[in-house]
């Protein structure tokens, strides 16, 4: 028995180490890291190294806990400002989008696999939601510098679409298990009521749990080493409590993380570092366990239909659902296309595909194998192409800051202040004479191993280490002073225009100098206000406003979302690459409106052209 414990520990630790080392391959060659985790699990399983793992209940349990940890971390790291900006389209995709994907994919699955209608929709529900772990890794760890609105939409969607997918999957498993629908109308009503109840209870528990976590952290003076574990445990309590009373535990834990991460919680930098590490461990364990549970030799009979369904999901089902959901939100065609493509399937789909096995369904293993292959197709096809597609669609923006070296230190007894240690890098603004703000309190400079008071250090030098006390709300403002010059890719040198203009100047000056296309009421507006109006909401870094002969680009915004720097491009932007027409929700909407306008105009002119005196009859 003792030897077995050692052997299991050795094998488990070796698999985690192998997965960690595989990250070097992923970052070097751009491979989807989570695909490598799955591959290690498959290679170590029954058809590989011979590790036999066939416990569906344990796999589902481990995957659920790991997903709860990932969702709490994703909510904790989502700023509320960005959540508000992207919440409407993201939540529409997370609810209506999942239902539409289930429906469209289920129809195709019925004809491709010859499963019953209910089993086909069950397979569709299992693969309908995007995977938070896969999306977060590609967007955050993959160094793809997207505009905030696109990034936030994808991250919020992947973080909130699990509850409806889980609800649909479990509901369909129960319907199939009891032998069908005894009364369609009653069952559909029960489904809608049950879903609303789960969401309401999950949201309530998540909100209460989030505020409770903040209060407990503030009131209890726990040891700094124990505090991150305490918060992680509380998040799992929120997850379990919501599920126990019939709510969505996944929605609850995401909301709890969102509330805690956007509050004035103590030791926030320590919590973020710990959660980032534990989230990585959760992803590794989840993908390894699910990879071990699969049996590749069983994939061969279903390989062809599963690959076909995977491509159908990527090229038709997901884009169609995204297009229908995003029509009301006026997103540009390129953004709609990118959101359609970054619908990566991952551990959640595999996890949900285990439920038919747990429910004892006759085709449970068949559904699991098909879903597993669909996930592999998604990670291979989409995971390897996200970066190139973003560049092709012109959605990647130059980084706002260059290299920055910073260490955040918690201060005992001070919940709302931090001690930041910056290393002065060559080319940073502080070396060019910009002053440190008055709300920051520099205290110490370490130069060539010697400690010097800041007041006695004189002019800062490259490689100096500067220790500064700051309120916890403003560290990002200091980052700009201590970052080096941004290294812009040669292809992006003209991204922000040839020169800058003062955003407080009247827009009439642009009309006079460059014949910019402006309405009379717009000419008296400051340039910043004009751009904000044209953008239809809060401006964002790298937003562009076309004024005919010139284009205005947002170079920077302050903490309140106001434009503080504007670039001017004197040449029109290059034409956007051709993409399928159905991916352009905004363009399709505009075409429909134009068609209706022309129809109305044509009907209004019919009497004059047909029967009025003087109407021309010449052809």
What pLDDT is attached to residue 585? 46
**Contact between 266 and 218 (Cβ < 8 Å):** yes
Closest among 370, 351, 322 to 131, alpha carbons compared: 351
Maximal CA-CA distance, the chain? 105
What pLDDT is attached to residue 595? 57
3-class DSSP state of 444: strand
Residue partners of 466: CB distance under 8 A and separation at least 6: 421, 422, 423, 424, 442, 444, 445, 454, 460, 482
What pLDDT is attached to residue 14? 77
More confident residue, 403 or 95: 95
What pLDDT is attached to residue 313? 95
Q: For residue 31, how many other CB atoms are within 10 A of its CB?
A: 18
What's the whole-model pTM score? 0.75
Domains of the chain in start order, with CATH, are 2-392 (1.20.1530.20), 405-482 (3.30.70.1450), 496-569 (3.30.465.10)
What pLDDT is attached to residue 399? 62
**Interval 358-374 mean pLDDT:** 92
Whether the predicted pLDDT of 52 surpasses 80:
yes
Distance CA 121, CA 101 (A): 10
3-class DSSP state of 466: strand
pLDDT per position as a tens digit, 183-204? 555 566 777 787 888 889 999 9
Work out the percent of the chain whose per-residue pLDDT is above 70.
78
Distance CA 357, CA 363 (A): 8
**Interval 481-502 mean pLDDT:** 64
More confident residue, 135 or 381: 381
**Interval 604-612 mean pLDDT:** 45
Distance CA 326, CA 150 (A): 12
DSSP state letters, 170-228: HHHHHHHHTTS-SSHHHHHHHHHHHHHHHHHHHHHHHHHHHHHHHHHHHHS---TTTHH
Whether the predicted pLDDT of 276 surpasses 90:
no
Closest among 43, 7, 51, 4 to 22, alpha carbons compared: 43
DSSP state letters, 485-546: -----GGGTTTT-SEEE-TTSBTHHHHHHH-----GGGTTSBHHHHHHHHHTSS--TT-EEE
More confident residue, 586 or 384: 384
Whether the predicted pLDDT of 505 surpasses 90:
no
Whether the predicted pLDDT of 288 surpasses 70:
yes
Q: How confident is the model at residue 255 (pLDDT cuts 50, 70, 90)?
A: very high
Residue partners of 606: CB distance under 8 A and separation at least 6: none
pLDDT per position as a tens digit, 84-130? 778 889 999 999 999 999 999 999 999 999 899 999 999 999 999 88
Whether the predicted pLDDT of 159 surpasses 50:
yes
Helices (H) and strands (E) in the chain, counts: 24, 9
What pLDDT is attached to residue 609? 41
3-state secondary structure 223-272: CCCCHHHHHHHHHHHHHHHHHHCCCCHHHHHHHHHHHHHCCCCCCHHHHH
What pLDDT is attached to residue 429? 79
What pLDDT is attached to residue 605? 52
pLDDT per position as a tens digit, 307-355? 999 999 999 999 999 999 998 887 888 888 899 998 888 888 998 999 9
What pLDDT is attached to residue 279? 86
Q: For residue 408, how many other CB atoms are within 10 A of its CB?
A: 16
CA 223, 224, 228, 234 dihedral sign is positive
In the Cβ-directed half-sphere of 16, how many Cα atoms lie within 13 Å? 13
Tallying the residues shown for the chain, one arrives at 619
More confident residue, 409 or 283: 283
Distance CA 390, CA 16 (A): 31
DSSP one-letter code for 572: P
Q: How confident is the model at residue 133 (pLDDT cuts 50, 70, 90)?
A: confident
What pLDDT is attached to residue 209? 95
What pLDDT is attached to residue 32? 64
Q: How confident is the model at residue 591 (pLDDT cuts 50, 70, 90)?
A: low
pLDDT per position as a tens digit, 430-477? 887 777 877 788 888 888 888 888 888 888 888 888 888 877 655 666
Whether the predicted pLDDT of 44 surpasses 60:
yes
Q: How confident is the model at residue 618 (pLDDT cuts 50, 70, 90)?
A: very low
pLDDT per position as a tens digit, 18-34? 766 666 665 555 556 67
**Contact between 162 and 129 (Cβ < 8 Å):** yes
Look at strands 417-423 and 405-410 and give their pairing: antiparallel
More confident residue, 225 or 596: 225
Whether the predicted pLDDT of 579 surpasses 70:
no
Beta-bridge partner residues of 469: 419, 441
3-class DSSP state of 292: helix
What average pLDDT does the structure give for the chain?
Answer: 79
What pLDDT is attached to residue 615? 38
More confident residue, 91 or 595: 91
What pLDDT is attached to residue 466? 86
What does the block give as tokens for 315? Answer: 């090229």
């Amino acid at each position: 028995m003792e030897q077995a414990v050692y052997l299991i520990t050795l094998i488990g630790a070796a698999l985690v180490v192998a997965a960690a080392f595989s990250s070097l391959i992923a970052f070097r060659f751009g491979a989807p890291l989570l695909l490598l985790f799955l591959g290690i699990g498959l290679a170590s399983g029954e058809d590989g190294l011979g590790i036999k793992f066939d416990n569906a209940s344990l796999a589902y349990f481990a995957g659920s806990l790991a997903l709860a940890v990932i969702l709490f971390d994703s909510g904790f790291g989502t700023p509320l400002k960005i959540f508000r900006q992207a919440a409407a389209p993201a939540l529409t995709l997370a609810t209506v989008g999942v239902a539409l994907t289930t429906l469209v994919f289920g129809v195709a699955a019925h004809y491709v696999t010859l499963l019953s209608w209910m089993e086909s929709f069950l397979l569709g529900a299992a693969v309908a939601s995007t995977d938070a772990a896969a999306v977060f890794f590609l967007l955050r760890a993959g160094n793809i510098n997207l505009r905030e609105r696109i990034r936030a939409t994808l991250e919020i969607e992947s973080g909130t679409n699990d509850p409806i997918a889980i609800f649909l999957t479990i509901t369909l498993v129960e319907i199939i298990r009891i032998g069908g629908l005894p009364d369609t109308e009653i069952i559909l009503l029960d489904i809608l009521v049950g879903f609303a109840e789960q969401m309401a209870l999950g949201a309530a528990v998540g909100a209460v749990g989030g505020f409770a976590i903040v209060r407990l952290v503030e009131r209890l003076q726990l040891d700094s080493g124990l505090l991150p574990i305490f918060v992680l445990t509380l998040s799992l309590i929120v997850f379990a409590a919501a599920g126990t009373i019939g709510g969505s535990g996944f929605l609850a834990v995401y909301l709890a993380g969102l509330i805690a991460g956007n509050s004035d919680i103590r030791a926030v930098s320590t919590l973020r570092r710990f959660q980032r590490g534990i989230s990585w461990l959760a992803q590794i364990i989840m993908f390894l366990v699910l990879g071990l549970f699969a049996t590749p030799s069983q994939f061969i009979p279903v390989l062809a239909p599963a690959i076909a369904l995977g491509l159908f999901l990527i090229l038709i089902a997901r884009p169609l659902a995204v297009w229908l959901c995003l029509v009301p939100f006026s997103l540009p065609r390129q953004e709609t296309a990118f959101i359609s493509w970054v619908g990566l399937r991952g551990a959640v789909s595999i996890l949900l595909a285990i439920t038919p096995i747990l429910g004892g369904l006759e085709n449970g293993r068949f559904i699991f194998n098909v879903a597993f292959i669909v996930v592999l197709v998604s990670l291979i096809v989409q995971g390897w192409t996200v970066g190139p597609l973003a560049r092709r669609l012109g959605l990647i923006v130059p980084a706002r800051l260059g290299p920055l070296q910073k260490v955040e230190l918690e201060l005992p007894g001070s919940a709302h202040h931090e001690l930041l240690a910056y290393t002065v890098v060559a080319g940073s603004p502080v070396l060019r004479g910009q002053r440190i703000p008055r709300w920051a309190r520099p205290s110490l400079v370490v130069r060539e191993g010697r400690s010097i008071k800041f007041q006695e250090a004189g002019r800062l030098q490259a490689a100096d280490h500067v220790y500064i006390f700051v309120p916890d709300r403003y560290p990002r403002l200091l980052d700009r002073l201590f970052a080096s010059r941004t290294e812009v890719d040669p292809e992006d040198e003209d991204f922000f225009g040839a020169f800058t203009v003062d955003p407080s100047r009247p827009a009439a000056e642009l009309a006079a100098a460059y014949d910019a296309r402006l309405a009379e009421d717009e000419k008296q507006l400051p340039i910043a206000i004009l751009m904000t109006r044209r953008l239809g909401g809060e401006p964002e870094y790298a937003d562009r406003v076309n004024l005919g002969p010139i284009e205005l680009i947002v170079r920077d915004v302050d903490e309140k979302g106001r434009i503080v720097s504007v670039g001017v491009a004197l040449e029109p932007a290059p034409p956007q690459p051709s993409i399928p027409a159905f991916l352009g929700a905004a363009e399709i909407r505009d075409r429909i409106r134009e068609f209706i306008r022309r129809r109305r105009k044509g009907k209004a002119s019919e009497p004059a052209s047909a029967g009025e005196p003087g109407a021309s009859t010449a052809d």
